[in-house]
Amino acid sequence: MFTGIITGVGRIAAVHDLGRSLDHGKRLEISTPAHYLDDVGLGDSIAINGACMTVIAFDAARHVFSIDISAESLDKTAELNQVGTTLNLEKALRPQDRLGGHIVSGHVDGVGSVNQFHQIGESWLLQVLAPPSLAKYLAYKGSITVNGVSLTVNQIADTPTGCLVDINLIPHTVQNTALGSLQPGSSVNLEIDTVARYVERMLSLENQAATTPWKAS
């Protein structure tokens, strides 16, 4: 479980094949800020651009940890196999931590693309085109996770190709996460709000019950 509050910015330092076919995944070596791994142990969970991964090895002296990412995860996420990619990092939530963002599972629901990213005044407008399948979960002033960062939806517009989501980024967010490296056309990992997921499920069951003819036993 995570909050979407980034605790460090890392970089993919190396990518190793776990096999020769497309059914095999990759092993990533990820560099981190100094002392970031001081409280990390084997088997710990770290969200990498919003995708929850397991630490399989680490070298605290070199500030590097390794993860294995499956072919399925690579297929369902964006840009997690390219050397040099900057990454938003978040360690798993502890019971005593503040829930500063919103409840984030670290499971990517879809890949979106950046439509606009430019400065307006002191802040930045980030406009993301989300897949049509996620549109029903997005709402004005609701929450969305973009590359692991908990953000607030400022405006939505449904289009034939998906849902355009406008987000305002304050300078602190741009300077202290990897979102500052985005540009139009960049692919981003998206996770919808957990509460929206359950609301949609409850409503779909209610609608199903209302339209299903009742039969006496």
| Residue of 124, 117, 166 whose CA lies nearest to 141 | 166
Domain span at residue 125 reads 110-202
The pLDDT value given to residue 189: 98
What amino acid is encoded at 62 in this protein?
A: R
Task: Return the percentage of the chain with pLDDT > 70, whole number.
Answer: 98
How is residue 195 annotated by DSSP? Answer: H
Tell me: do 123 and 172 sit in the same domain: yes
Tell me: do 53 and 131 sit in the same domain: no
pLDDT confidence band for 204 (50 / 70 / 90): confident
Name the residue with higher pLDDT: 202 or 16.
16
**Mean pLDDT within 82-91:** 97
pLDDT confidence band for 143 (50 / 70 / 90): very high
Tell me: do 25 and 73 sit in the same domain: yes
pLDDT digits (tens, 9 = 90+) for 87-98: 999 999 988 888
- Is 72 in a helix, a strand, or coil? helix
The CATH number of the domain holding residue 145 is: 2.40.30.20
pTM of the model: 0.92
Look at residue 134 and tell me if it is in a domain. Answer: yes
**Mean pLDDT within 121-147:** 96
Q: Which of 91, 124, 148 is the last residue of a domain?
A: 91
The pLDDT value given to residue 215: 61
pLDDT confidence band for 208 (50 / 70 / 90): confident
pLDDT confidence band for 44 (50 / 70 / 90): very high
As a whole number, the mean pLDDT across the chain is 94
Following CA atoms 202, 208, 211, 214 in sequence, which dihedral angle do they give, to the nearest 10 degrees? -100
| Residue of 77, 204, 93, 206 whose CA lies nearest to 150 | 93
The pLDDT value given to residue 177: 98
